[in-house]
Amino acid sequence: MESHRELRYTIVLLSFLLLVSLYSIQGRLEDPAARRSPVKTIRTEYGDKYDCVGLYEQPALRHRLLKNHEIQMRPSFDPQRDNANPTGNGTSDKSIDVALMDSCPSGTVPIRRRSTAEVSRAKALFRQQFPSFNKSTRNIPGFAFAGITTRYEATTVYHGAGGMISINNPAAISGQVSASAISLEGGSPDQYSIIRVGWMVNVDLYHDNQTRLYAAWGQVKNRQMTGCYNTYCPGFVQTDTSIALDMPLTPISVVRGPQYYVKLSVTQDKSTGNWWLNYGDNAKRVGYWPSSLFTNLGNGAPGLRWGGTVSSSTSFLPQMGNGDNGQYQSAHFRHVELQYEAGTSLNGTIAVTLDVMQNRCYKSGDNYYKGEFWGYSFYFGGDGGDVTQCSS
């Protein structure tokens, strides 16, 4: 009897010690950036964990340019919010909802928990997957873009871009990335600046092939691209308590079946110059990139592009969008919008010249205006193929 009980105590004690040591090992492996005892942790149905981290403890602010940065909780002027029409009865013309099941307490923001290994992997992959290039230097082996771009005019800049992106799940393997995104960019290759938001399948980063929400920023300095995806490095300041970057997007659109969309936009605040990421039908503010991060996005962006980008370190480029399914069945954007002046709204009237970019492996076509449901739309995509053939 006695010895049984002792044995039980010993087992309980040993399992407790084991748990404690496992916990501390795990603690050490996790990204120290996001590990200052979170107020709360939210789990997703996909098995990811988001820690609610104090606003001023989020990784964004560890950037040397953001030492004394005062967080802007909302834009100084919010035309979209004022015009937002939140009525509607949930038809599929709406953006999908990617909010976490639960919000972080006020004063904290959700940062996905990841290991230090994943953080360093993310930084290395970003440099490899985000070379310095713009439209005029586009034939880089291992990269391809298909979609629409604003035609460069020396005196024109844009203060925002948006659209509804169809959600697809292109086939990609290790070494390949396939994304659908909106980019705001500018500058010569040696000081090129970029913000890109959308979704991507990035097998080497996430070790899965899900379609995940992402927002990246980049700035070329000393001939090297700096910046990163999401909150893997300092830069993006999150203010929203429930929209989670890195979140898998579902449902996936079905070729010749139902289509699902995520609505995203990036708009520049008139007084601070910060670039806000807005999500969903009511343009919920997720957070922003301080304008001090960029050399060429201080007062507007010289170029905008919407469409698919793929990259590969293998000898094949992956599928883009939903593959090659022709004008009416391919991946597409609806309600392409841009903002002409600081402090105005996104505008669905395209009064500038847009160029359609496509190549041997990836098609794109402009559908112009197609009524209320579509707004200004275009399609794009392809099955991919040999790197040397697809990059030219």
* Contact residues: ligand NAG, CB under 6 A: 89, 91, 134, 136, 152, 169, 171, 186-189, 209, 302-303, 344-345, 347, 349, 351
| Min CB(87)–ligand NAG separation in Å | 9
Residue (54 or 79) nearer to ligand NAG, CB: 79
| Min CB(192)–ligand NAG separation in Å | 7
Question: Taking Cα atoms as reference points, which of 308, 270, 46 lies closest to residue 183?
Answer: 308
* C-alpha atoms less than 13 angstroms from C-alpha of 311 in its C-beta half-sphere: 17
Determine how β-strand 275-279 pairs with β-strand 176-186.
unpaired
Residue (59 or 382) nearer to ligand NAG, CB: 382
Element holding 83 (H helix, E strand)? helix 79-83
| Min CB(167)–ligand NAG separation in Å | 13
Residue (150 or 364) nearer to ligand NAG, CB: 150
| Min CB(90)–ligand NAG separation in Å | 8
| Min CB(138)–ligand NAG separation in Å | 10
* Total residues found in the chain within this entry: 392
Determine how β-strand 376-381 pairs with β-strand 331-339.
antiparallel
Q: What share of the chain is helix, strand, coil (3-state, %, to 5)?
A: 20, 35, 45
Residue (231 or 322) nearer to ligand NAG, CB: 322
Residue (286 or 346) nearer to ligand NAG, CB: 346
* Separation of alpha carbons 133 and 141, rounded Å: 12
Determine how β-strand 176-186 pairs with β-strand 316-317.
unpaired
| Min CB(370)–ligand NAG separation in Å | 18
Residue (183 or 230) nearer to ligand NAG, CB: 183
| Min CB(152)–ligand NAG separation in Å | 4
Question: What tokens appear for 335 in the block?
Answer: 């309600």
Q: What is the residue-wise DSSP string for 93-121?
A: TSBPP-B-SSPPPTTEEEEE--BHHHHHH
Give the Cα-Cα-Cα angle 296, 178, 117 (nearest 5 degrees): 80
Instruction: Find out whether 180 and 154 touch, Cβ atoms under 8 Å.
Output: no
Residue (288 or 376) nearer to ligand NAG, CB: 376
* Separation of alpha carbons 379 and 166, rounded Å: 10
Residue (157 or 215) nearer to ligand NAG, CB: 157
| Min CB(321)–ligand NAG separation in Å | 12
| Residue 90: DSSP 8-state | -
Q: What is the residue-wise DSSP string for 192-255?
A: -EEEEEEEEEEHHHHSS---EEEEEEEEEETTEEEEEETTSSTT-EE--SSB-TTPBP-SPP-T
Question: Taking Cα atoms as reference points, which of 350, 377, 374 lies closest to residue 364?
Answer: 377
CA distances from 357 to 173, 309, 322, 363, 379 (A): 25, 11, 17, 8, 11
Residue (61 or 96) nearer to ligand NAG, CB: 96
Question: What tokens appear for 262 in the block?
Answer: 């995520």
Residue (34 or 144) nearer to ligand NAG, CB: 144
| Min CB(249)–ligand NAG separation in Å | 14
| Min CB(6)–ligand NAG separation in Å | 48
